[in-house]
Amino acid sequence: MTDQQRPYLLKRLERINAIGVALSAERDNNRLLEMILLGAQEVTNADGGTLYTVTDDKHLKFEIMSNKTLNIAMGGTTGKEIAFLPLPLYLEDGSPNLTTVAAYATLNDKTVNIENAYEAQNFDFTGTRKFDEKTGYHSQSFLTIPMKNHEEEVIGVLQLINAIDLDTQKIIPFSAANQSLVESLASQAAVALTNHNLIEGLKGLFEAFIELMAEAIDQKSPYTGGHCRRVPELTMMLGQAAIDTKTGPLKDFTLNEKEFYELKIAGWLHDCGKVTTPESVMDKPTKLSSIFDRITLLDQRFELLKTQAECDSLKKQVEALKFGQKNDYVKLAAALEAFKVKCDEDREFLRKSNFGSEHMTLEDQQRVCDIASMSIVGANGHAEDFLSENEVYNLSIVRGTLTGEEREIINNHIVVTINMLDSLPYPKGLKRVPEYACGHHERMDGRGYPKGLTREQMSIPARVMGIADIFEALTSKDRPYKKAKTLSESLHILGKMKVDHHIDPDLFDIFVREKVYLKYALQFLEPEQIDDVDETNIPGYQA
C-alpha cells in the first residue's frame, strides 16, 4: 500500500464505522436496507447494486436497486416497486440454482468477485446481457456478498456492479481491499437487519398476544363483546385530537411515536383483569339471574298463590251458599278476581323490575317490599313471605343488575389489572402502560377507584382513556340492562360528568370540538344512534 493510498483507505474505514453506527440506530426497515446498499456503493465507488433478502420459500427477493449511470432508484423509500420476480434458490427439479451468482453466493455462503461478466464461464449472465442490450449499459465487474445473521444463516445478499476508478472513471474489478471492506459492512448490516427483524417479530408477537387476550375477554362476555377492541380505537382518536389541537389548555400537549404506541398498548390492556371476573357476575343480564333467571320461579309462585287464594275463596263461597248468604258469595267471587288481577299486575311489575334500569324509584322499591310481604303457604304447610330476603335485595337494585357485592367483584377487575400489569418486565418505552391502563375508573375529583386519584395526580393519556371507556359504554348496544344510547344522549351524560368533575374538562371539550365522537360513531355505531347533535345544548361544553 502506497503512502497516497493510506489516507483514502483510512477515510473509507471511518465511513464504514459511521455507516455501522447509523445502521444500529435505524428502526425503519426500508431505510435500513437502503442505507446498506448505498453505503456499500459509496465505500467501493460502485456504479450500481442490488440488495436481496432470503424469503421463507427459498427465493431471493429484490429489495433495493440502484444505478447511478442509468439513474435508477427502486425499492426502499423510493416508493417505486421492483417488477422483477424473485430469484429461486432451487430449480424445479429441486437441485440448487448454482448458475445465478446471487443464488450461488447464498447457497454456498461465499463471496463471488467477478472481474468481467462477459468472460465468466461458470455463471449464466443471459439476463444481464439482455438488460445491457435494452438499456445500452455495460455490466462488467460484479461483487456478490452473502449477509449472515447471528445463527450463521444467510438472510440476504449484497451485489455491487461496476467498480469505477476515481481517477480515470473507467470500470475496474473490485479490489481485494474493497471486497474486505464490503464484507465487513455486510456483516454489520446483517446484525442490524437481524436485530430489526427480531425486534419487529417480538413487537408483532406482543401485539398479537395482547389483542388475543382482549378478544378472549370480549368473547367471554356476550354483553361486553367488542369493548376491549373499541376502547383502544377511541383512545387513539382522542389522543391524536389532543396532540393536534392548537388552542386551549392542551395546545402544547404532544406525544412522540413511542409514547403514542405506549398509549395504544395501554388501551388494549386496560381491562385485562376481567379475565378473572366470574361470568355469572360479568354476564348477569337480570337482577334475579344466578345459574338461571329466578324470575321463572316467581311466575310459578304467583300461579300457586292464585290457586291457593282460589281454593280458600271457593271454600268460603260454598259456605256462603250453604247458609244462603248470596251477597257474601258475590263479594268473595269479586274479591278473588280482583286478587288475581293484582297478582298478574304484580308479576308483570316484577318481570319489568328484573331488567335493570338506570334508576329504580323509591316507590318501585317499596312496591317490591309490599309484594314480598304477601303470604303464601309453603311446602311445610305454614305461611311464609312471598319473596325471600335475597330476592327482595336483588329486585331492589337501584341501577343496573348487580348487587353491591357483585359490583365490588366487577370493580375488582381494575385491581387485578394493576397487579397483572405491574408484574410485567416492561422495556423503557412501555413503562407507563400500567399507569395509563389502570386509571380509567378514576375521577378528576378523587372519588374514583381504585386509588382515588385526582386530576393533578393523573397523566393526560390516562385521562384520555377514562373518557374513551365511558363513552364506549354509553353507546354500546350490547349491555344487558340498557338499550344503546344515541350520540346526543351520550354526549349529554358525558357533559354532566364534566360538570360533576368526573372526567377531564379540557379533553371533553376537545372530544366535542374536534368531533371525535362523530368519527367514532361513523365507524362503530348503528345508523339509528347517529342523530343530530346540538353542541350548544351539551352540559358544560366550551367551544
- 192-223 per-position pLDDT tens digit: 778 777 878 888 888 888 888 777 776 766 55
- pLDDT surpasses 70 at 283: no
CA distance 274 to 483: 23
Task: Using only the alpha carbons of the chain, give its radius of gyration.
Answer: 38
More confident of the two residues 414 and 133: 133
- Of all residues in the chain, the percent with pLDDT exceeding 70 is 90
Tell whether domain 5-199 is in CATH 3.30.450.40: yes
Q: Is residue 241 predicted with pLDDT exceeding 60? A: yes
Q: How far apart are CA 421 and CA 415, in angstroms?
A: 10
Mean of the pLDDT values across residues 83-100?
Answer: 93
Domain ranges of the chain: 5-199, 221-283+405-537, 295-401
Mean pLDDT of 466-484: 80
Choose between 90 and 400: higher pLDDT. 90
Phi-psi label, residue 308: left if phi above 0, alpha if psi -120 to 50, beta otherwise: alpha
Which pLDDT belongs to residue 1? 46
Distance CA 462, CA 269 (A): 13
Rounded to an integer, the average pLDDT of 324-338 is 85
Question: How many Cα atoms occupy the beta-carbon half-sphere of 277 within 13 Å?
Answer: 28
* CB burial of residue 1 (10 Å; 0-12, 13-18, 19+): exposed
For residue 331, give every residue at least 6 positions away whose Cβ sits within 8 Å of its Cβ, in sequence order, or none: none
| pLDDT the model gives residue 166 | 84
Does residue 49 have a pLDDT over 70? yes
C-alpha span between 76 and 71 (Å, rounded): 15
How far is Cα 275 from Cα 268, in angstroms, rounded to an integer? 13
- Residue 23 pLDDT: 67
Output the DSSP codes for 469-508: HHHHHHH-S--TTSPPPPHHHHHHHHHHHHHTTSS-HHHH
Which range among 1-5, 16-20, 234-238, 285-289 has the greatest average pLDDT?
234-238
Whether 416 has a pLDDT exceeding 60, the answer reads yes
Confidence tier at 463 by pLDDT (50, 70, 90): very high
Mean pLDDT of all residues in the chain? 86
**Cis, bond preceding 173 (omega within 30 deg of 0):** no
Q: Give residue 289's pLDDT.
A: 77
Question: Is the pLDDT confidence value at 366 over 60?
Answer: yes
Calculate mean pLDDT across residues 321-348: 87
Q: How confident is the model at residue 281 (pLDDT cuts 50, 70, 90)?
A: low
pLDDT at 9: 61
Share of the chain above pLDDT 90, in %: 47
pLDDT band at 225 (very low <50, low <70, confident <90, very high): low
pLDDT of the residue at 438: 86
Is residue 7 scored above 80 in pLDDT?
no
The predicted pLDDT at position 505 comes to 96
pLDDT of residue 483: 72
Taking 80 as the threshold, does the pLDDT of residue 480 lie above it?
no
pLDDT over 70 at 326, yes or no: yes
Per-residue confidence band for 278, with pLDDT thresholds at 50, 70 and 90: low
Least confident stretch, 66-70, 161-165, 273-277, 526-530: 273-277
DSSP assignment string, 106-142? HHHT--EEES-GGG-SSS--HHHHHHHHHHT-----E
pLDDT of 526 higher than 50:
yes
Give the confidence band of 506 by pLDDT, cuts at 50, 70, 90.
very high
Which CATH code for domain 221-283+405-537? 1.10.3210.10
